[in-house]
Amino acid sequence: MHILTEQELHNLAMNFIGKKLQEMGYEFVAVNSKLKKHPQFVLFKKGEPTIFVLVKATKNLQNPNDYDVLWMETFKEHAKKQHAKVWYAGVGIANAESVDLPVIKDKPYYIAFEDFLKLSG
């Protein structure tokens, strides 16, 4: 039995969000899947400003969009200097049998994702 690490959970969230963004017609200028390196996606779409997407995997299925407000203000300032918008994607990931159990490789899991929080721009 292999319990997914924080990085593996993050990669699941990244893959999920990457597919959503592609469906929305965005091109990836840059992708960074290392934990605690931001932004995870830098997006391009002709005629639109650059978008920085922050992806966070969480066990919180009820409120996957909760984030550190102080940290986000700092990041929004960085984005403003780059003339970029900031989107936040909180992705709740949990064991399909019970949220009290860890997510296990090759076992069913549940993803909670409402929508992108458009925080600036």
| Domain extent listing, the chain | 6-120
Please give the mean pLDDT across all residues of the chain.
94
Rounded Cα distance, 78 and 15, in Å? 25
Look at strands 41-44 and 84-95 and give their pairing. Answer: unpaired
Q: Is the pLDDT of residue 36 over 90?
A: no
For residue 57, with 0-12 CB atoms within 10 Å meaning exposed, 13-18 middle and 19 or more buried, which class applies?
A: buried
By the 8 A CB rule, do 95 and 105 touch? Answer: no
- The pLDDT, as a whole number, for residue 11 is 96
CA separation (Å) from 25 to 28, 32, 44, 56? 10, 19, 9, 21
Q: Is the pLDDT of residue 121 over 60?
A: no
Look at strands 117-120 and 41-44 and give their pairing. Answer: unpaired
The closest of 45, 47, 60 to 93, measured between CA atoms, is 60
Which pTM was predicted? 0.92
Share of the chain above pLDDT 70, in %: 99
- Average pLDDT on 37-56 reads 94
- The pLDDT, as a whole number, for residue 8 is 96
For the domain made up of 6-120, give the CATH fold.
Trna Endonuclease; Chain: A, domain 1 (3.40.1350)
Beta strands in the chain (DSSP E): 27-31, 41-44, 50-58, 84-95, 109-112, 117-120
3-state secondary structure at position 23: helix
Render pLDDT for 87-100 as a digit per residue (tens, 0 to 9).
Answer: 999 999 999 999 89
